[in-house]
Amino acid sequence: MVKPGAGRYLRRVGDESSDERREKSGADGAAVAALYRERVMTHARAPRNFGALEGATRRVEGHNPLCGDRVTMAVFQEGERIVSVRFEGAGCALSIASASMATEALAGREREAARAVVREAIAALEGRCAADERVLGEAVALTAVSAFPARLRCVTLAWQTLDEALAGED
Protein backbone atom coordinates (compact mmCIF):
# COMPACT_ATOMS: atom_id res chain seq x y z
CA MET A 1 0.00 0.00 0.00
CA VAL A 2 1.27 3.48 -0.89
CA LYS A 3 0.95 6.16 1.74
CA PRO A 4 -0.79 9.43 0.75
CA GLY A 5 1.76 11.92 -0.52
CA ALA A 6 4.39 9.26 -1.23
CA GLY A 7 4.13 9.87 -4.98
CA ARG A 8 5.56 13.34 -4.66
CA TYR A 9 8.98 11.81 -4.10
CA LEU A 10 8.89 9.63 -7.21
CA ARG A 11 10.32 10.71 -10.56
CA ARG A 12 10.41 8.95 -13.89
CA VAL A 13 13.85 8.29 -15.27
CA GLY A 14 14.91 11.30 -17.34
CA ASP A 15 12.64 13.79 -15.55
CA GLU A 16 14.31 16.90 -14.25
CA SER A 17 13.31 18.44 -10.97
CA SER A 18 12.17 22.06 -10.82
CA ASP A 19 15.45 22.94 -9.12
CA GLU A 20 17.45 21.32 -11.93
CA ARG A 21 15.49 23.23 -14.59
CA ARG A 22 15.94 26.52 -12.71
CA GLU A 23 19.67 25.87 -12.33
CA LYS A 24 20.06 25.35 -16.09
CA SER A 25 18.16 28.54 -16.88
CA GLY A 26 20.65 30.70 -14.95
CA ALA A 27 20.30 34.49 -14.76
CA ASP A 28 17.79 34.61 -17.62
CA GLY A 29 15.64 32.15 -15.71
CA ALA A 30 15.74 34.35 -12.62
CA ALA A 31 14.62 37.37 -14.63
CA VAL A 32 11.78 35.38 -16.23
CA ALA A 33 10.73 34.06 -12.82
CA ALA A 34 10.61 37.59 -11.36
CA LEU A 35 8.64 38.86 -14.35
CA TYR A 36 6.34 35.84 -14.05
CA ARG A 37 5.60 36.51 -10.38
CA GLU A 38 4.99 40.22 -10.97
CA ARG A 39 2.68 39.80 -13.95
CA VAL A 40 0.79 36.83 -12.54
CA MET A 41 0.10 38.56 -9.25
CA THR A 42 -0.95 41.78 -11.00
CA HIS A 43 -3.50 39.93 -13.13
CA ALA A 44 -4.60 37.65 -10.28
CA ARG A 45 -5.31 40.55 -7.92
CA ALA A 46 -6.99 42.74 -10.53
CA PRO A 47 -8.04 40.56 -13.46
CA ARG A 48 -8.83 42.30 -16.71
CA ASN A 49 -12.13 41.58 -18.45
CA PHE A 50 -13.62 39.69 -15.50
CA GLY A 51 -17.40 39.42 -15.43
CA ALA A 52 -20.33 38.46 -17.59
CA LEU A 53 -20.43 39.38 -21.26
CA GLU A 54 -23.98 40.23 -22.27
CA GLY A 55 -24.79 39.20 -25.82
CA ALA A 56 -21.84 36.81 -26.09
CA THR A 57 -21.81 34.94 -29.39
CA ARG A 58 -19.74 32.12 -27.88
CA ARG A 59 -19.56 30.88 -24.31
CA VAL A 60 -17.73 27.76 -23.07
CA GLU A 61 -17.09 26.48 -19.55
CA GLY A 62 -13.85 24.81 -18.55
CA HIS A 63 -13.03 22.89 -15.40
CA ASN A 64 -9.85 21.49 -13.91
CA PRO A 65 -11.01 18.63 -11.68
CA LEU A 66 -7.51 18.20 -10.20
CA CYS A 67 -7.60 21.51 -8.34
CA GLY A 68 -11.14 22.79 -8.78
CA ASP A 69 -10.44 25.72 -11.11
CA ARG A 70 -13.51 26.71 -13.12
CA VAL A 71 -13.66 29.27 -15.89
CA THR A 72 -16.29 30.41 -18.36
CA MET A 73 -14.85 32.17 -21.38
CA ALA A 74 -17.25 34.38 -23.35
CA VAL A 75 -16.58 35.91 -26.76
CA PHE A 76 -18.52 38.56 -28.66
CA GLN A 77 -17.89 38.62 -32.39
CA GLU A 78 -19.03 40.86 -35.20
CA GLY A 79 -18.53 38.81 -38.33
CA GLU A 80 -15.12 37.19 -37.95
CA ARG A 81 -13.72 39.98 -35.71
CA ILE A 82 -13.54 39.40 -31.97
CA VAL A 83 -14.87 42.55 -30.35
CA SER A 84 -14.69 41.47 -26.73
CA VAL A 85 -13.54 38.55 -24.57
CA ARG A 86 -14.51 38.23 -20.91
CA PHE A 87 -14.36 35.52 -18.31
CA GLU A 88 -15.99 34.43 -15.10
CA GLY A 89 -14.86 31.80 -12.67
CA ALA A 90 -12.88 30.91 -9.62
CA GLY A 91 -9.55 29.27 -9.15
CA CYS A 92 -5.94 29.67 -8.17
CA ALA A 93 -3.93 32.80 -8.95
CA LEU A 94 -2.37 31.15 -12.01
CA SER A 95 -5.72 30.19 -13.48
CA ILE A 96 -7.25 33.65 -12.98
CA ALA A 97 -4.14 35.46 -14.25
CA SER A 98 -3.96 33.25 -17.31
CA ALA A 99 -7.63 33.88 -18.16
CA SER A 100 -7.08 37.62 -17.71
CA MET A 101 -4.04 37.60 -20.00
CA ALA A 102 -5.85 35.48 -22.60
CA THR A 103 -8.69 37.98 -22.86
CA GLU A 104 -6.22 40.77 -23.54
CA ALA A 105 -4.32 38.76 -26.14
CA LEU A 106 -7.37 38.05 -28.30
CA ALA A 107 -9.61 41.13 -28.34
CA GLY A 108 -9.67 42.85 -31.73
CA ARG A 109 -8.29 39.90 -33.70
CA GLU A 110 -9.95 37.98 -36.49
CA ARG A 111 -11.27 34.61 -35.35
CA GLU A 112 -8.71 32.47 -37.21
CA ALA A 113 -5.84 34.72 -36.09
CA ALA A 114 -7.11 34.39 -32.50
CA ARG A 115 -7.21 30.60 -32.84
CA ALA A 116 -3.60 30.68 -34.03
CA VAL A 117 -2.63 32.76 -30.99
CA VAL A 118 -4.43 30.33 -28.68
CA ARG A 119 -2.70 27.31 -30.23
CA GLU A 120 0.69 29.07 -30.02
CA ALA A 121 0.06 29.98 -26.38
CA ILE A 122 -0.81 26.40 -25.48
CA ALA A 123 2.25 25.06 -27.31
CA ALA A 124 4.52 27.63 -25.60
CA LEU A 125 3.04 26.91 -22.17
CA GLU A 126 3.57 23.20 -22.71
CA GLY A 127 7.17 23.89 -23.79
CA ARG A 128 6.65 22.71 -27.39
CA CYS A 129 7.75 26.04 -28.93
CA ALA A 130 9.34 29.33 -27.93
CA ALA A 131 6.99 32.07 -26.75
CA ASP A 132 6.75 35.23 -28.83
CA GLU A 133 5.89 38.32 -26.77
CA ARG A 134 4.75 40.13 -29.92
CA VAL A 135 2.01 37.51 -30.28
CA LEU A 136 1.23 36.58 -26.67
CA GLY A 137 1.78 39.92 -24.94
CA GLU A 138 2.05 39.65 -21.17
CA ALA A 139 0.99 36.01 -21.34
CA VAL A 140 4.56 35.16 -22.36
CA ALA A 141 5.39 35.40 -18.65
CA LEU A 142 3.24 32.32 -18.03
CA THR A 143 5.78 30.13 -19.81
CA ALA A 144 7.82 30.16 -16.60
CA VAL A 145 5.31 27.60 -15.32
CA SER A 146 7.30 24.97 -17.21
CA ALA A 147 9.45 24.79 -14.06
CA PHE A 148 6.32 23.56 -12.26
CA PRO A 149 4.67 20.85 -14.41
CA ALA A 150 1.93 20.19 -11.86
CA ARG A 151 0.62 23.73 -12.51
CA LEU A 152 0.46 23.41 -16.29
CA ARG A 153 -3.26 22.66 -16.32
CA CYS A 154 -3.89 25.81 -14.26
CA VAL A 155 -2.37 28.07 -16.92
CA THR A 156 -3.73 26.23 -19.96
CA LEU A 157 -7.34 25.92 -18.78
CA ALA A 158 -8.49 29.34 -20.06
CA TRP A 159 -6.60 28.96 -23.35
CA GLN A 160 -8.01 25.49 -24.01
CA THR A 161 -11.50 26.73 -23.15
CA LEU A 162 -11.07 29.64 -25.57
CA ASP A 163 -9.85 27.26 -28.26
CA GLU A 164 -13.06 25.29 -27.85
CA ALA A 165 -15.17 28.45 -27.97
CA LEU A 166 -13.46 29.73 -31.11
CA ALA A 167 -13.73 26.34 -32.84
CA GLY A 168 -17.51 26.29 -32.39
CA GLU A 169 -19.82 26.63 -35.33
CA ASP A 170 -21.62 29.91 -35.96
Give the neighbor-by-neighbor strand order of the sheet with 58-64. Answer: 58-64, 69-78, 81-90
Per-residue pLDDT of the chain (170 residues; tens, 9 = 90+): 333 333 322 222 333 344 444 444 445 667 656 767 888 889 999 999 999 999 999 999 999 998 899 999 999 999 999 999 999 999 999 999 999 999 999 989 999 999 999 999 999 998 888 888 888 888 888 888 877 888 899 999 999 999 999 997 65
CA 75/CA 96 separation, integer angstroms: 17
Given a contact cutoff of 8 angstroms between Cβ atoms, the answer to whether 84 and 76 are in contact is yes
The domain locations on the chain are 24-167
Given a contact cutoff of 8 angstroms between Cβ atoms, the answer to whether 66 and 59 are in contact is no
Topology of the domain covering 24-167: Sufe protein. Chain: A (3.90.1010)
List beta partners, residue 86.
74
Q: Alpha helices of 3-147 — where are they, by DSSP H? A: 18-45, 93-106, 111-125, 133-136
